[in-house]
Amino acid sequence: MIDLIRAAMARDPAARGVVGAFEILLTYSGFHAVLSHRCTHFLWKQGVPFVPRALSQMTKFLTGIEIHPGAEIGSGFFIDHGMGVVIGETTIVGDDVTLYQGVTLGGTGKETGKRHPTLGNNVVVGCGARVLGNIRIGNDVRVGAGSVVVKDVPDHCTVIGIPGRIVRDRGRRVIDAPLAHGALSDPVARQIEALEGRIARLEKELTETTP
């Protein structure tokens, strides 16, 4: 529980000091949902029938966040606001991961076995993003708001768009600030700019060579 409070205080500028800790305990739906999941996951691992699912549905009703009892979630997990977050049964989430409202970590059909994503450590998934299928999202990855990711993502990348496209910066973390969604690069715009530059060069060469 302490790790959840520390994660919220570290990543939410609204939570500060002793008052902030009490606010997290009493009013943060993401905190309540993850705390409940730790109980339901324990019961799930013990093979207790019905009860884990019933408790998870009750938590969904109270918080607007649906976490399947079978999902494996690491320490320092933080769901900011959280309404509409869905985490599927075979999802694996690493340490110090942040999700925003409306995120889905889901499957892509009626597959059996491992059918939900695996997230590495220090991953941030922006609001409304979808990460679907048995794919791996590497460490220190940033998924932009509204993106749909259906393929593996290497470490230290930013993914945006539908379908998700990867932006790299010399193999290093693209965004140093974990919540700086406004700094996300647009790979489509960059490609268009590159094409415009190439067209301009070709037009110039054509003009110079035309008698």
Straight-line distance from the first to the last Cα atom of the chain, in angstroms, rounded to the nearest whole number: 77
Which 3-state string (H, E, C) describes 63-101?
A: HCCEECCCCEECCCCEECCCCCCEECCCCEECCCCEECC
pLDDT digits (tens, 9 = 90+) for 148-160: 999 999 998 889 8
Q: What distances in angstroms separate CA 153 from CA 110, 123, 159, one per listed residue?
A: 23, 11, 8
- CATH number, position 19: 2.160.10.10
Structure token pair of residue 53: 């699912």
Contact 29, 83 (CB under 8 A): yes
Say if residue 171's pLDDT is above 70: no
pLDDT digits (tens, 9 = 90+) for 13-48: 877 777 778 888 888 999 999 999 999 999 999 999
Q: How confident is the model over 67-74, as a mean pLDDT?
A: 96
The number of domains in the chain is 1
Which range of residues forms the domain containing residue 107? 2-209
Please write the tens of the pLDDT for every residue from 112-145: 889 999 999 999 999 999 999 999 999 999 999 9
Cut 0.75: pTM above it: yes
